[in-house]
Structure 1
Amino acid sequence: MKIFANIREYFQNIDDNADSFSEYFYITRFSDFVKNRDSREIQREFSQPHKRGFFEIALITQNSDVMNIGEYTFGNVKYSLFTVSPFQVVSFNNSNSLPAGDLPKKDIDGILILFKPSFFTTIRQAYEIQQEFPFFKIHTSPMYNLSQENFADVMQLADQMYAEVKNPALNSTEVVRSFLLILLYKIKRLSRDNTIVATSDRFMAITAKFEHLISINNGDFLSVKEYASQMNISPVYLSECVKKATGKTAQSIIIDHRVLFAQSLLHQSEKPISEIALEMGFIDLSNFTKFFKRNTGLTPKQFRSEKTGKTT
């Protein structure tokens, strides 16, 4: 699966000025983005399941296109907020969801914001972002339907960021950075009923870093001992922290991420289930089927059929 490490690489064939303001921050209006670009070019770049090494916030006034984020599919949305974390599986207008030959429409309106933790001066790791702003955790819903009043409130901040980037002046980076932090805290406030409020204790911080390490491995899931080694702590201490922070074992967290990755591939990819099983590390398809059903209650075929109508 393709992984785009940075913003410039992501827009390599789409927007030559993607990093003109900062290599760690990008903002555009969707209407400007699609207006002068070939729909086939956008479809070619983003239709296949892929991962990105940066965060995304999308404020969408309206959109009739289809977006796939993890196991979720969204289309025909209005006044909606989307949040996507690094290394989540994403695709747009995948042929699983649209008839063959359909292309991105140009009726999308709103603002797209991409950023890497390096854009900030104090919060510089992805897991720190997820710790401070729990709506970025991959087990939370990536979409929030907002009232028009709340949507207008956050859109005003996004508009101010956009204006600052388009007309940079003295200390523009600091101004945009401040607006982005305010926007993130506004979203945190709006999403507080939908997410678990993070704590700042040591157990939660270690668990957040542990989950980040799991997410950045592109289908290569390690053991608790191997993750603990990467974090320079003992497996026993890692397991203790995860248990106190989540109520789950460290191994069950790994399994949760593994299942989520399998669901994303089954939902967004056109690969045969047997090929997905191999990508997940299962040489025997029957073992993959048992693993998936044990953890979801459905076979891979049943899950794919429910999501896409396909059975292979």
Structure 2
Amino acid sequence: MKKIPNISFQDVENEHNFECLNLNKFFERLPEIVDHNPTLPHRIHFFALLIVTKGTGTHQIDLIDYPLKKGTVLKLSKGQVHSFEKNAKYEGFLILFTEEFVMYHFSKSSINIISHLYNYHITSPISENENLNKLFLEQLNAELSNTTSFAQNNIVASLINLYLLRLERENKEVSIQNNSKNYPLFIAFKNLVELNYTQTRNVKDYAEKLSITTKNLNEIVKEFTLDTTKTFIDNYVILEAKRAIVSTDLSFKEIAFEIGFDELTNFTKFFKKNVQLSPKAFKNK
């Protein structure tokens, strides 16, 4: 039974919680990877930055193909499903780092400002800034080439943190939003949805877990997404359903059960209401 592979972080020495991969070398290693096929959809349990320095191509994140060219950076968050194109012709670097790396080295204020770390539902993963990318890669590679390893993790983390903050500054609207006093509550709600969407899609249940009223929760979600709480929950369930339909060989009944529906008919009605297509029509499309 084919399911979306879940890929955890592993570096060579299993101690740094970050890794910088040259894409040319990474693409050469693709046939040697045994636990999954990177050119097929797979869910990552770490963060990644795909920085393109030469050539063009595409990269799929959550069923959307993003165009790549020199100066492009794609920001992938923990929990997202992505895949590399086959026979990729572009060059660059893939920066991987874990949630532990972020929590240990990034300040709380930085985490709140860098929206894409935990708020990928409402922010675009793609940016373009060739000069900023070049500066970051030069500093990062210089540090990784340093024969003195003292404080290297801290320095690398500072470089990644600074780079992400500078990328974030290009989207002032999001940065201002994330300074809202309600941002931590919104992130807590988002995390609860990701953990509990198979058990409940009831707004009241999430409000109770956060010890706030449904009205207050709705106001908070609207502040960041312009959608209602119910719409946000349903959209996440639909995203998980689409991921499963496109990227696995599970039957519709199995998918329905996995994402919290007792009956296939209820799942089909829910999917069609939100996508305007039946699961079968969506898969064929």
Q: Aligning the two structures, in what range does the TM-score lie when normalised by the shorter sequence?
A: 0.7 to 0.9
Give 1:112-151 correspondences, 5 Å limit: 112-115=94-97, 116=99, 117-123=102-108, 129=111, 131-136=112-117, 137-144=120-127, 146=128, 150-151=129-130
Give 1:82-101 correspondences, 5 Å limit: 82-92=74-84
Once the 2 structures are TM-superposed, how far is the Cα of residue 75 of structure 1 from its aligned partner? 6.4
Once the 2 structures are TM-superposed, how far is the Cα of residue 82 of structure 1 from its aligned partner? 0.7
Deviations 1:237-275 (A, max 9, x none): 433433444443322211121122222223333433343
The answer as to 2:224 corresponding to 1:207 is: no
Counterpart-to-counterpart distance in 1, 2:59 and 2:206: 32
Counterpart-to-counterpart distance in 1, 2:277 and 2:142: 48
Q: When the two structures are superposed, what TM-score results if normalisation uses the length of structure 1?
A: 0.73
- Which position in structure 1 is the counterpart of 2:168? 188
Q: When the two structures are superposed, what TM-score results if normalisation uses the length of structure 2?
A: 0.79
Deviations 1:213-248 (A, max 9, x none): 223458555533433344344545433433444443
Is this contact kept in 2: 1:79–1:151, CA < 8 A?
yes
The size of the alignment, in residue pairs, is: 276
The answer as to 2:11 corresponding to 1:3 is: no
Once the 2 structures are TM-superposed, how far is the Cα of residue 34 of structure 1 from its aligned partner? 3.5
Where do 5+ consecutive residues of structure 2 fail to align? none
SS of the counterpart of 1:46?
coil
Is this contact kept in 2: 1:62–1:108, CA < 8 A?
yes
Specify which of 243, 258, 270 is matched with residue 264 of structure 1: 243
Where do 5+ consecutive residues of structure 1 fail to align? 9-14, 94-103, 307-312
Counterpart-to-counterpart distance in 1, 2:56 and 2:132: 23
**Deviates further, 269-278 or 59-68:** 59-68
The answer as to 2:16 corresponding to 1:16 is: no
- Which position in structure 2 is the counterpart of 1:177? 157
SS of the counterpart of 1:202?
coil
Counterpart-to-counterpart distance in 2, 1:272 and 1:180: 41
Specify which of 20, 24, 29 is matched with residue 27 of structure 1: 20
Deviations 1:173-210 (A, max 9, x none): 332222112210221134458x6752422223211221
- Which position in structure 1 is the counterpart of 2:51? 59
Once the 2 structures are TM-superposed, how far is the Cα of residue 168 of structure 1 from its aligned partner? 5.3
- Relative to structure 1, the CA distance from residue 110 to residue 119 in structure 2 (aligned partners, 3 Å threshold; closer, same or farther) is farther
- Relative to structure 1, the CA distance from residue 168 to residue 295 in structure 2 (aligned partners, 3 Å threshold; closer, same or farther) is farther
Is this contact kept in 2: 1:53–1:86, CA < 8 A?
yes
Is this contact kept in 1: 2:70–2:130, CA < 8 A?
no
Once the 2 structures are TM-superposed, how far is the Cα of residue 294 of structure 1 from its aligned partner? 1.4
Opposite residue 123 of structure 1, the aligned amino acid is K
- Which position in structure 2 is the counterpart of 1:239? 218
Deviations 1:57-115 (A, max 9, x none): 1102356776431121346654421111111222345xxxxxxxxxx537442111122
